[in-house]
Amino acid sequence: MAQSGPRQKERLRILSWLIACAFFFTSASPPATAQFKAWVMAKLPDTPEGLGVDSHGNLYATLMHIGEVVMLKDDGSYDHIAWVPSQEESGNGDLIGLDLDQSGNIYVAYTGHSKRDFRKDLGDPFHPACRDATVTKSGVYKIDAQTRKVTPLATKAEGWPFCYPDDVAIDSSGNVYMTDLTYSGIWKISPDGKKVDLWSAHPLLNWSPKPYSGFPLGVNDLVLDKQQKNIYAVTDGDPHGTQDPDQGGWDGR
């Protein structure tokens, strides 16, 4: 387990209440309403959750409840890429975050359904759903850029103690960073999946104490900046506004 230390180059920034949009700014300074354009790109058969773009500008999305990865097309249609973990297991879990490496391989975070209520588990410090031995598929899966073959990179089946894999980000060396929503931590997975460390379980990744947090969700989305010096992560924040936003930064070098 590694948190903050002199050898750790990455820096972590905690962002509360993040909304991501694509903005198309002009060179001048027009009125606010003219600074961006928004439209419906595609209508999908299930809830889209994760998004990623390859080096050619192709946009990929995960369909959360049915476990499908699709590529969106300019005409509003989409192409099937893969089922994760498989088509036979469609509906048995949540397919959430997505990212691509420099070779165009797709990595996705998947959480298998437990017989226990996940919502109740979030507020239980013992996390019984996380300890459900029947849930073995949760983890990170890799989709080959050429063959579209799906293989597990690191899952609970190999003994890794993941709880609710949520989002992924890939660095230039092929390491995978994965958020864990219930454990409020970020895992670091080697390119071959053989080394897994709890890269950070910093207290700021956890939810605010009651009554300031309406629903106990830990670290959710994350992204690496282009310089690969910072990881930006999203938590649930403090809806009562009592937390100082200046306390949201953490230097983990």
The CATH code that applies to domain 11-18+91-250 is 2.40.10.500
CB 162 within 8 A of CB 139: yes
Check residue 246 and give its pLDDT: 39
Distance (Å) of CA 6 to CA 3, 9, 251: 10, 8, 10
CA distance 38 to 35: 10
pLDDT at 29: 60
- Residue 18, pLDDT score: 33
Q: What average pLDDT does the segment 9-16 reach?
A: 43
pLDDT digits (tens, 9 = 90+) for 99-125: 999 999 999 999 999 988 766 776 677
Is the pLDDT assigned to residue 210 strictly greater than 80?
no
Residue type, 125: P
List, for residues 170-183, the tens digit of each pLDDT value. Answer: 999 999 999 998 88
Contacts of 227 (CB under 8 A, 6+ apart): none
Q: Tell me the average pLDDT across 150-179.
A: 96
**pLDDT exceeds cutoff 90 at 32:** no
**227, burial (CB in 10 Å: exposed 0-12, middle 13-18, buried 19+):** exposed
Asked if residue 97 has pLDDT above 70, the reply is yes
Q: How confident is the model over 70-86, as pLDDT tens digits?
A: 999 999 999 999 999 99
